[in-house]
Amino acid sequence: MQVVIVESPAKAKTINKYLGSDYTVLASYGHIRDLPPKDGSVDTEHDFAMKWELYADKSKQLKAIADEVKRADSVILATDPDREGEAISWHLLEWLKGKKAVPKGGATRVTFNEITKTAVLAAMKKPRELDAALIDAYKARRALDYLVGFTLSPVLWRKLPGAKSAGRVQSVALRIVVDREREIEAFRAREYWTIDAGLTSAGGQAFTARLSLLNGKKTDKFDLTNEAEANNARSAVEGSTFTVAAVETKPVSRNPYPPFTTSTLQQEASRKLGFTASHTMRVAQGLYEEGIITYMRTDGVQIAGEAITAARDTILREFGAEALPDKPRHYATKAKNAQEAHEAIRPTDMARRSAGSGDTAKLYELIWKRTIASQMASARMERTSVELLSDDRQTGLRASGQVILSPGFLAVYTETRDDTPVSGAEDDDDSRRLPRLTQGEKPRLDSVKADQHFTEPPPRFSEATLVKKLEELGIGRPSTYASILQTLRDRSYVRMEKNRFFAEEKGRLVTAFLERFFEKYVGYDFTAELETELDEVSAGDLDYLTVLGRFWAEFQAKTKEILELRPSDVTVALDEFLSPFLFPPTADGSDPRLCPTCGNGRLSLKTGKFGAFVACSNYPECRYTRQFAAEGGEPQVGNGVPVLLGEDSATGEPVSLRSGRFGAYVQRGEDGEKGAPKPPRASIPKDMAVTGPEDLETALKLLSLPREVGIHPESGEKITASIGRYGPYLAHNGKYARLTSSAEVFETGMNSAVVKLAEALANPGRARNAPVPLRELGPHPVSGAVIKLIEGRFGPYLTDGTTNANVPKGSDGLAISLDEAAGLIDTRAAMPSKGKKPVKKKAAPAKAAPKATAAKKPAAKKAPAAKKPAAKAKVAAKA
């Protein structure tokens, strides 16, 4: 018997169908070990020796693998055909060697680019040894990430309160986002005008032309910069008669796009389907493991010869001979790293037009269309340009258009453009269709209009454009893009709004710190060069210890230098570095650092327990403060410094906004001496906003809780509404009913309150066992089950009705996306059951197992487990 080990149970299930009874296919559930998150995991004094540690939650899988391997003749490691797959196989083999459990037949490695019967059986006939160069590249990357993370992050914690972590690649990706924010802030809009004329040809067909010549000179974009100039130009056009001076028609062809690589799939799925990079890879992983598409982590754009033939057959059958080029198309890979230049992402069966449902079906259709289109004929078009001149040849118009003669591949697939300008001035008029015009013809002038436009700042990055930028700069590799973007979100360094990345103040501050003190290590060129060196290690052209030694010698010295700085020195340096952002020039030329509250204090950057903020030099006499990234000088909460919202008219006491250990809260009155009663306070719920003096009324409402709704008509007892630890609720005579939002606390009337309390009383079990969800995120992209956010006894969790997954510590459950929620559900579903109860349940049917050896061991462990309850019972009886 031979044991085949793969990463996932889905992949194991698919492969198991293709192999005979002589094979047992098991899943490792991904990596089985990693560098433990503590000092010393990489020994820089002894050739960067690495101390690996098994994942605690993999014990069940590893035991199952070890039990099967004992009875096996050999082991076949069939993990994915890339660097990570090679690393998983290496970890498995090293673990087996450590247990002295490698069978007599040894262990071999097989790879396949698609999980089809033909590919799997062919791979089994060509076993090989593990690729040492790929393993070295993995170790180099893992060691570098560890050394940067566990050396740089503590520096951030000590010198920059509130910062979470830094990473070798994530910090550079964050800098790209922050640099774009700076470009947008530095941008100054410019006004310009365009003149468009509506004309009718001799044949009676209308068309539009734009001013291109004025006073005998060719017009540029910024020649008309105000309304007066635009009106003069419009008058010049209105007072002219135009003649067609030239008509130029030329054929144009467009070639199809190559099949998808990892990055282009992520970009197009983001643009066309609105998928995040991580969700795209999760859905693609499922398609791959079902044997429906080829391996989805690749830089290659070429596809196998038999796949090209199958694609051409499909094109001929589905779209006709005119859509099929004379010769097959072959694309050259742009991959720098040969080991990652696998075949492009394509369907394993070109005749299959659909697969699965929901997001799975959408992504497969995208892959199928792109692959088929890549082998189709070019699109043939005719592009026409027409020049019109006034009788005095001082004023000219230009019109252009394009006609598709043969759609070719465009009948199947068109790539979406990034960041299409919203202004009509930048619209590409080549797509317009022009009437037939002849030289010397005099079209009739029907109308002339002048339109005002303003230049627009560069757009913020979407997932698609950020992945494209990372690829252009050579930062990271396709297999890492999804995790890089997710890490930035998890650290709260960025936020997503309308599918665009916005740099948070935390992210800006960390980037400023790294640019000021570790400029080289967040440089685009340095990071790209390091990636190139790691590719050379993968190819076997460079020793990985050389790369690590060279990097560590400089990085360690720089880290020691920064650690010697005092936090106050760091703050002063950052205050100077960030001055253009924090204190930009004012419109009236006044000092931007002058405190708007006291009038004589100086504003500067400060750091506190909860991060950075701007404060007045006259504190505590002047309590002016604003957030690090606040604009307009309005006082805002931050860093433990209270912000005055106003006074309570009923008591005359000040009401302030404060930041505490568990978030923002409002307080009435001042703090007393130590031991004195605390003044009234109220936490700010997530679905309400209190940011400044304009929200004083909301703050007073929160401080007034609980609110008396009225007297219950039957009991004569009060009904109150308030906000507790688990959200808004109604209370009456020791009974409770949940409200769906904080606003309902202040809006619910007597009739509604009585009904809600009656419903809660009539269904006590439902209220206890099936709590009202805090939020419904939507259907799971694979199963279709609705994912809900529930407030549990130990905190919020996500559920699809079958699997529950905790919301990660520090994450806002109400802000979590559907993709992230689905990922957490999937990860939890793939994990083994914990605790003794699941073990007992699974051990019971062991007698029916076909292999006696597999059933004996779990049964042997039952005796001691059964004694514990009895021992506890005796102790309880004595007590």
- Per-residue pLDDT of 296-327, as tens digits, reads 988 888 888 899 999 999 999 999 999 999 99
What tens digit of pLDDT does each residue of 773-831 get? 667 777 787 777 888 888 776 777 889 888 888 888 766 666 677 878 888 888 888 77
- Give residue 727's pLDDT: 82
Residue 793 or residue 760, greater confidence: 760
What would the two tokens of residue 824 be? 């957490």
| Residue 858: burial class (beta carbons within 10 Å; 0-12, 13-18, 19+) | middle
Residue 842 has pLDDT above 70, yes or no: no
Look up tokens 């995991």; give the residue. 41
Q: Which residues of 545-557 are buried (b: 16+ CB within 10 A; e: fewer)?
A: eebbeebbeebee
Give SS3 for 331: coil
CB 25 within 8 A of CB 16: yes
- Give residue 632's pLDDT: 41
Look up tokens 């950020």; give the residue. 466
- Residue 824 neighbours by CB distance under 10 Å: 21
What would the two tokens of residue 876 be? 């309880």
- Strand (E) positions, 87-140? 107-109
Active site residue 481: no
Give SS3 for 448: strand
Integer Cα distance of 535 and 337 in angstroms: 5
- Give residue 674's pLDDT: 62
Pure H helices in 334-429: 358-374
Residue 466 has pLDDT above 80, yes or no: yes
Residue 175 has pLDDT above 60, yes or no: yes
CB 631 within 8 A of CB 657: no
- Give residue 333's pLDDT: 67
Residue 441 or residue 492, greater confidence: 441
What tens digit of pLDDT does each residue of 350-365 get? 999 999 899 999 999 9
Residue 196 has pLDDT above 70, yes or no: yes
What tens digit of pLDDT does each residue of 229-255 get? 999 999 999 999 999 999 999 999 999
Residue 647 has pLDDT above 90, yes or no: no
Residue 486 has pLDDT above 90, yes or no: no
Average pLDDT, integer, range 37-57: 91
Residue 422 has pLDDT above 50, yes or no: no
Residue 27 has pLDDT above 60, yes or no: yes
- pTM comes to 0.67
H helix and E strand count, the chain: 26, 32
What tens digit of pLDDT does each residue of 106-120 get? 999 999 988 989 999
295, 364, 481, 665: which is the annotated catalytic residue?
Answer: 295
- Give residue 335's pLDDT: 45
6: which strand partners?
Answer: 27
| Residue 812: burial class (beta carbons within 10 Å; 0-12, 13-18, 19+) | exposed
- Give residue 142's pLDDT: 92
- Give residue 720's pLDDT: 94
Average pLDDT, the chain: 84
DSSP 638: B
